[in-house]
Amino acid sequence: MAALTENQIINNAYYLTEKASELWPIDSDEYLTARGLANIAINRWEMYDSTKWKELFSTLTAASDGTKTITAGTYTYLCPTNFRYPSSYVRIVDSGGNSSFWQVISPAMISYYANSSQRVVWFTGNVKAGFTLNINSYNITLTTGHTINYEYYRQATLFAAITNTTEMADPYFISYYIAAHMAEEGVDPDLNTMAEARLEAMRTQNMSQLFGVSDDIPNSLENIPGFGL
């Protein structure tokens, strides 16, 4: 399914609600209300049943912000603004392309590594203030110009302009959600049922694996030759 813009999604909601072809003007109260409902729908999808949506996993390299380069003597680095939590080891890549792997620990465990030179990192912060990557500094020297990378789970993108798109696999869920909640007699049960069915279908699809590819992980990083270079 092709990505739909905010405008297309809200226009589809209009067709479901009004059953007419005269669309809501983008500066009308109806359109702005629909945008607000669209963002509520995105939040419902993002938080639905504690699902880890495949569409929301990303990398620091792909992020539009967040510090990606090491500076000698600096052991704290800003995370992308859409960061929620890490999903893998942090890697520091040297000028030759060799990666060192750094284990992510909970901030509650920092005291256990106070006098340790083990390669550990931890993330601090929150959605309001932003997140920071902290690198253990005890007897560890960092080199300017080396790069940082890690996978992370990010926040879903909300709508703020008519050309915005969503990561959601089925954006028609948003259209049905808007239409259901803009019904004249309160929430339309039929449209709401259709919206919820699409949401659950996305969750089911999210749990599926690639054909012929096992989802087992037979080896940990520690067992891979070259780990910890």
Q: What is the pLDDT of residues 194-217, one digit of tens each?
A: 999 999 999 999 998 766 666 655
Q: Is the dihedral of CA 210, 214, 216, 218 positive or negative?
A: negative
**With contact defined as beta carbons under 8 Å apart, do 111 and 122 qualify?**
no
Q: How high is the mean pLDDT of the chain?
A: 92
- Predicted TM-score (pTM) of the model is 0.86
Lowest mean pLDDT among 14-23, 70-79, 207-216: 207-216
Q: What is the dihedral of CA 162, 163, 168, 170, to 10 degrees?
A: 80
How many residues are listed for the chain in this entry?
Answer: 229
Q: What are phi and psi of 36, to 5 degrees?
A: -60, -45
pLDDT of residue 210: 67
Q: What pairs with residue 90 in β-bridges?
A: 102
